[in-house]
Amino acid sequence: MLPAARRVRTADAFGRAVRGGDRAGRSTLVVHLAPPRAGTDDDDPTTTPSPRPAAAGFVVSRAVGGAVVRNRVRRRLQHLVAARLDGLPPGTELVVRALPPAADADGARLAEDLDGALRSASRRRARRAGTP
């Protein structure tokens, strides 16, 4: 499980990533990668602000399967994303939406689709920001 500071937990944060982020899809999942936001982890003005770490959220609908299947898919995705979060810029919000084929996919397939989707979304974001 991801630490609380590394999870996208609010509807606003999910909406920001899904509506305002760069999207890339593969056969088992879709990623929405929102650019880093200004802000800090600390809302206390008396402390020195620290940058927000990259955070991830997951959407696994009933279309993927029953509760047991959905939880298994979510746990697999959490494990894969946790290993990749440090590679994202601080403040980035990532939402991973599982598609129905994710229920039958093995870990290697999910990892391959996740890596490919993250690369595509990062390239789109870089192009939109004007950096090569």
Distance CA 107, CA 96 (A): 15
pLDDT of residue 126: 81
Residue 18, pLDDT above cutoff 80: yes
Instruction: Output 14 or 49, whichever has higher pLDDT.
Output: 14
Domains detected in the chain: 4-34+53-123 (3.30.230.10)
pLDDT of residue 82: 94
Give the pLDDT mean for 3-28.
Answer: 92
The structure's pTM equals 0.85
Long-range contacts of 99-102 (CB under 8 A, 24+ apart): 99/25, 99/27, 99/28, 99/29, 99/30, 99/63, 99/64, 100/63, 100/64, 100/65, 101/27, 101/28, 102/28, 102/29, 102/60, 102/64, 102/73, 102/77
- In this predicted model, what pLDDT tens digit does every residue of 87-131 receive, in sequence order? 998 999 999 999 999 999 999 999 999 999 999 998 888 887 775
Place of tokens 């990062």: 122
Residue 44, pLDDT above cutoff 60: no
Residue 42, pLDDT above cutoff 70: no
Percent of the chain with pLDDT over 70: 87
What does each C-alpha distance from 4 to 1, 10, 31, 41 come to in angstroms? 9, 12, 20, 11
